[in-house]
A and B are shown apart, each in its own frame.
Chain A
Amino acid sequence: MVTDTLERPAAATAAVHKAEVRNLSFYYGDFKAIKGVSMAIEEHKVTALIGPSGCGKSTLLRCFNRMHDLYPGNRYDGEIILKPDNVNILAKDVDPIEVRMRIGMVFQKPNPFPKSIYENVAYGLRVRGLRNRTELDDRVEAALKGGALWEEVKNRLQDVAFALSGGQQQRLCIARALATDPELLLFDEPTSALDPMATGSIEDLIHSIKQKVTILIVTHNMQQAARVSDYTAYMYVGDLVEFGATNDIFMKPKRKETEDYITGRFG
């Protein structure tokens, strides 16, 4: 039989979805930035959103923690169903704060709070009512270990977070997000402000935390998407052009538009 080397046999176990985007459109006032996108986010996998500027990838990412609610005139249409309890996180009666408890976010530029390293990580836990000092210490340590930062900061936990390097600050932000045990973690261009070494450590970190949390990442760096993700979605002017296993997208995409974009022929 003719074999297609670029396709791998499907895993024996059926894929478990962490979230399902269903016919999602999004409007900035009259401007339709996302045009009826449907896709499933697999649990404990990294899904990358790629596409040229203005394609809607960051807009889509931000829908996941209702960040657009902050501005009037923005409107969602369609659903994002969070599993396993099947809650539509875009529903008006769902509190965005509740959504953000379950879905964390890491931004392009590291944005630690103007507090100590310890307090940055402990903050979310305190907000959640955790007061016991020993437990806080344990959770902070675990989160910093999860963020691959513990060894570098364990002796200076009370230093102000801004004393850390850019890469360390970003790992602190990841640790801060991990501290509250989110189910889904959103990364918006998490390494575009970092040097290659710091980028490498963040990518390594993404790889290790996906055992615990499902990851959705927006990146302009296609090689980064190829390196870190299991699935890749290519978007163009608000449409989801192609969505599939990263191996397929980068070796044998089905659509010409995707191929043109990832090979640098887009123009």
Chain B
Amino acid sequence: MNDKHISSQFDAELGSISTRVLEMGGLVEAQVGQAVYALTHLSHETAGQVLAAEERVNAMEVEIDNDLWTIIARRQPTARDLRLLVAIAKAIANLERAGDEAARIARTVQRLINAGVSSRLRLPLEDLGYESTLAITQLRKSLDAFARLDIEKALEVLKTDDQIDQEFEGLMRKLVTYMMEDPRTISASIDLVFVAKAIERVGDHAKNLAEAVIYVVKGMDVRHNTVESVEAMVR
């Protein structure tokens, strides 16, 4: 396909906005990673860094939004250009919310530390680490899919989403066991339930991003469908 517009300025605008989405994605990915590090290492300092990054992520969302409106107003994009811009609007909203989840985790970590939770208390932090590795991988893959408008990569993200959900359920059972065995962990475990949910949501945002990639490339809205039917449709 001919990728260049007659107006090279339009190409430059689209290129610039896509780059900034990826930059924002990188920032959010790092934020989630740091939040998980703060959790598994009970690091007050790293949690603080996550919260500091939130402001930057929010500002980026506003800036990219503003650029989007400008391009739409001035270029009146159609077809895949229009789909790309609509997808960017969705992508940045999802990234911003993934960033919010990272901040939520960071605040929980600070609260846990302030409440005197230490690594001596037996908690399934390792398992949360595994769930978050899955979520971060999903986020990275969906950003890769977005960068290259790669349908296969987007499909991979959709297929893997189930794993995070299963991991989340496993964690719930584990946390209940911990609470029954040692009632001193109840308070912290309840916090971890919310952390696990936040990580699971990061995975959901990654999935939304992957669906947006399919929308750009194929012009198909594949939300609310089983992975099998999506696969059948896009191939």
Contact = CB atoms under 8 A, between A and B. Distances in A.
Given A2-B225, A226-B78, A263-B77, A251 B6 contact: no
Given A2-B229, A259-B80, A263-B79, A252 B219 contact: yes
B76 A223 contact: yes
B230 A250 contact: no
Contact of B229 (A1, A4, A223): A1
Contact residues of A: prevailing secondary structure: loop
Interface residues of A, number: 22
B158 to A, nearest CB: 12
Nearest to A5: B221
B219 A4 contact: yes
A5 B81 CA distance: 17
A265 to B, nearest CB: 5
A95 interface: no
A251 B219 contact: yes
B214 to A, nearest CB: 10
A265 B3 contact: yes
Contact of A265 (B2, B221, B222, B230): B2
Contacts, number: 63
Contacts of B6: 264-267
Interface in A1-42: 1-6
A266 B229 CA distance: 34
A256 interface: yes
Contacts of B77: 263
Contact of A264 (B5, B220, B221, B233): B5
Pick the most buried of A2, A4, A5, A253: most chain B CB atoms within 10 A of its CB: A2
B1 interface: yes
A259 B5 CA distance: 11
A263 B229 contact: no
Interface in B1-42: 1-7, 10
Contacts of B81: 263
B83 interface: yes
A222 B4 contact: no
B82 interface: yes
Contacts of B3: 265
Contacts of B80: 259, 263
A263 B78 contact: yes
A262 interface: yes
A2 B79 contact: no
A260 interface: yes
B79 A4 contact: no
Nearest to B10: A264
Given A264-B5, A266-B6, A4 B221 contact: yes
Nearest to B222: A2
Interface in A111-169: none
A222 B79 CA distance: 12
Contacts of A222: 78
Contacts of B1: 256, 259-260
B83 A251 contact: yes
Nearest to A248: B219
Interface of B: 1-7, 10, 76-83, 219-222, 225, 229-230, 232-233
Interface of A: 1-6, 222-223, 226, 250-253, 256, 259-260, 262-267
Given A1-B229, A259-B1, 14 more contacts: A2-B225, A2-B230, A3-B220, A4-B220, A5-B221, A226-B78, A260-B2, A263-B77, A263-B80, A264-B10, A265-B4, A265-B6, A267-B4, A267-B6
